[in-house]
Structure 1
Amino acid sequence: MASPAKPSILLLSLAMQPFLDDSYSSLFDQISSKATLKRAKSASGALTYLSTNVPRAIIATDEGLTESSNSPVLEKVLSYVRDGGLLLIGLHFPNFVTMDAFDSFFQRLGLPWKRGDYHRTTFCFNNSATLPGSLSAAAFPGPYSMKVLHVKNARAEEKIYVPVPEAMTQSMVFPPEFVDRTQAAIVDSKIGEGYLVYDGNVNPEEEQIGVILALCGL
Structure 2
Amino acid sequence: MFEEMRKRRAARRVKSGDGHPLQRFRWWQLLGRSLFYLRLADGAGGHTVYAVDVRHNRTDDDGYNNADLFVDGRHHARSRIPAVFPVPGGKIEVKKSVFGLKRCHYVTAEGSEQRLQPDRFSAEGRRAHLDRTHPALSRGISLLSTVVLLASLAVLVVQLLEKLTRSAPIAAQIGTFTSPVVLPVWLNVALGVAAALASTERALRLRYNWLLDGGAG
TM-score (norm 2): 0.27
Structure of greater relative contact order (alpha carbons < 8 Å, 6+ residues apart): 1
Rg comparison, structure with higher value: 2
Structure having the higher helix fraction is 2
